[in-house]
């Protein structure tokens, strides 16, 4: 599970607002033990679980039989309902549906703050990348942020890199970088075996990447401090964003913003035209391809749900007609932020 940038108080508040209890799996819980061809479940005091409603709740969690060290929350309203370790010893979580809904809503609610912060983030990135390429921790982080913002690449996961040979920004290796005369090329397989081939022509980022190639080791993005070479992690990126903006943004927020922005603006281009009714699926597929996801995953996890609602209800057309003059003078980022503020006021 990703390290949360929310404080304990903030997490407890989210849980309380969803009528949930915020829990940790260090709490004594229900244990699973092999019994014949199935499993038996036991409360912390050792008594067997026989209550039909409790057993039904456990069954609905659909915990894979292969999971080890299974812990089941003793409370039906716990925000974490179960944890366990899979065949690769990775800790897996089963969350309460209300918690998942709350976090999903919160992610999209945060978009208005992300949109309002994007100019600050970009100005800071440009400022740091314009400095001599000394490859400080801040400079390497800003190089990664630049690529997140401009290329929509995933942040990366060491497990996927080691086991699947698929990569993201923090796990890229030098072999994935080709420096040519006036450009740098990133060539690699990402999650779901998506082929990424990215041409970079910005002189500042090329200068940084050239220096990154000179540092020993096969990882591309690393820095040196008094304790030696260090690798940049997704936690470093998320913490940096929080310190910069005072919001608990993560690397994933860039992809959520880009997906929603591109989907919104592309739909807007076709509103009030004869093609309007036929563009939803093609546009969704285009944006999903940009992210390296299926259309279903893209729609569910990356596109603000109100964009879809407004489109289907015809509100997007009316909004465009009403604000056409202002819309024509806006960038794509400004346009999405302007619309988000409208949604927030409704």
And the tokens for 121?
């983030």
Indicate if the pLDDT at residue 91 is higher than 80. Answer: yes
> Tokens representing 35?
């019994």
User: φ and ψ at 94, to 5 degrees?
Assistant: -115, 115
What is the average pLDDT across 120-134? 96
Q: How confident is the model over 262-294, as pLDDT tens digits?
A: 999 999 988 765 556 688 999 999 999 999 999
Q: What is the mean pLDDT of residues 107-136?
A: 96
Q: What is the pLDDT of residues 7-33, one digit of tens each?
A: 778 788 888 988 999 999 999 999 999
Pick the closest to residue 125 from 101, 100, 106, 143 (CA basis).
143
In this prediction, residue 239 carries a pLDDT of: 96
Interatomic CA distance for residues 90 and 70, integer angstroms: 12
Who's near 186: CB < 8 A, 6+ residues apart?
147, 151, 153, 172, 176, 177, 196, 197, 198, 200
Question: pLDDT averaged over the chain?
Answer: 92
Q: DSSP alpha helices (H): ranges in 165-202?
A: none
Torsion, CA 40, CA 44, CA 50, CA 53, rounded to 10: -110
Give the pLDDT band (50/70/90) at residue 192.
Answer: confident
Instruction: Show the tokens assigned to 209.
Output: 């990447």
pLDDT digits (tens, 9 = 90+) for 210-265: 999 999 889 999 998 888 899 999 999 999 999 999 999 999 999 999 999 999 99
How big is the chain by its Cα radius of gyration, in Å? Answer: 23
| Long-range pairs for 30-39: beta carbons < 8 A, 24 or more residues apart | 30/58, 30/71, 30/72, 30/73, 30/74, 31/70, 31/71, 31/72, 32/63, 32/70, 32/72, 39/65
Is pLDDT of 346 > 70?
no
Mean local confidence (pLDDT), 133-157: 95
Contacts of 330 (CB under 8 A, 6+ apart): 338
pLDDT at 277: 64
Does position 4 have pLDDT exceeding 70, yes or no? no
Res. 105 pLDDT band, cuts 50 70 90: confident
What is the pLDDT, as a whole number, of residue 282?
94
At 321, phi and psi to the nearest 5? -60, -40
Q: Which residue has the higher pLDDT, 76 or 88?
A: 76
Average pLDDT over residues 43-51: 96
Which of 148, 135, 150, 152 has the alpha carbon at shortest distance from 213?
A: 135
What percent of the chain clears pLDDT 70, i.e. is strictly above it? 96
- How far is C-alpha 80 from the chain's CA centre? 20
Whether the predicted pLDDT of 70 surpasses 50 = yes
pLDDT score of 273: 58
Percentage of the chain surpassing pLDDT 90? 76
- Whether the pLDDT of residue 109 is over 80: the answer is yes
Whether the Cβ atoms of residue 298 and residue 259 lie closer than 8 Å to each other: yes
* Run of H or E residues at 222: strand 222-225
Confidence of residue 3 (pLDDT cuts 50, 70, 90): very low
Q: Where does the pLDDT of residue 1 fall: very low under 50, low under 70, confident under 90, or very high at 90 and above?
A: very low
pLDDT above 90: residue 132: yes
pLDDT tier for residue 2 given thresholds of 50, 70 and 90? very low
Q: What are the helix and strand counts (H, E) for the chain?
A: 15, 10
Residue 110: pLDDT band (50, 70, 90) is: very high
pLDDT at 90: 85
């Amino acid at each position: 599970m990703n390290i949360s940038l929310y404080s304990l108080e903030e997490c407890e508040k989210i849980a309380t607002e969803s009528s949930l209890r915020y829990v940790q799996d260090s709490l004594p819980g229900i244990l699973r033990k092999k019994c014949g061809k199935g499993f038996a479940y036991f409360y912390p005091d050792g008594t067997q679980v026989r209550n039909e409603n409790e057993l039904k709740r456990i069954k609905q969690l659909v915990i894979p039989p292969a999971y080890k060290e299974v812990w089941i929350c003793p409370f039906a309203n716990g925000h974490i309902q179960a944890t366990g370790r899979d065949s690769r010893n990775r800790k897996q979580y089963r969350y309460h549906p209300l918690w998942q809904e709350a976090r999903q809503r919160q992610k999209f609610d945060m978009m208005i703050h992300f949109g309002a912060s994007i100019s600050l983030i970009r100005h800071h990135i440009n400022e740091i990348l314009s400095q001599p390429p000394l490859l400080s921790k801040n400079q390497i982080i800003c190089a990664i942020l630049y690529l997140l913002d401009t290329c929509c690449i995933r942040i990366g996961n060491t497990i996927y890199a080691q086991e699947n040979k698929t990569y993201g920004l923090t796990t890229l290796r030098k072999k994935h970088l080709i420096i040519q005369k006036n450009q740098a090329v990133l060539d690699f397989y990402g999650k779901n075996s998506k082929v990424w081939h990215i041409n970079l022509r910005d002189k500042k980022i090329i200068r940084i990447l050239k220096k990154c190639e000179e540092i020993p080791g096969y990882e591309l993005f690393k820095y040196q401090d008094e304790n030696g070479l260090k690798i940049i992690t997704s936690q470093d990126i998320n913490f940096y964003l929080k310190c910069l903006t005072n919001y608990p943004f993560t690397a994933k927020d860039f992809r959520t913003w880009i997906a929603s922005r591109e989907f919104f603006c592309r739909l807007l281009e076709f509103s009030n035209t004869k093609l309007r009714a036929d563009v939803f699926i093609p546009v969704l597929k285009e944006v999903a391809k940009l992210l390296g996801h299926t259309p279903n995953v893209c729609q569910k996890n990356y596109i603000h749900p109100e964009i879809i609602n407004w489109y289907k209800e015809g509100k997007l057309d009316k909004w465009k007609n009403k604000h056409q003059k202002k819309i024509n003078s806006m960038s794509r980022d400004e346009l999405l932020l302007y619309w988000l503020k409208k949604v927030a006021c409704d």
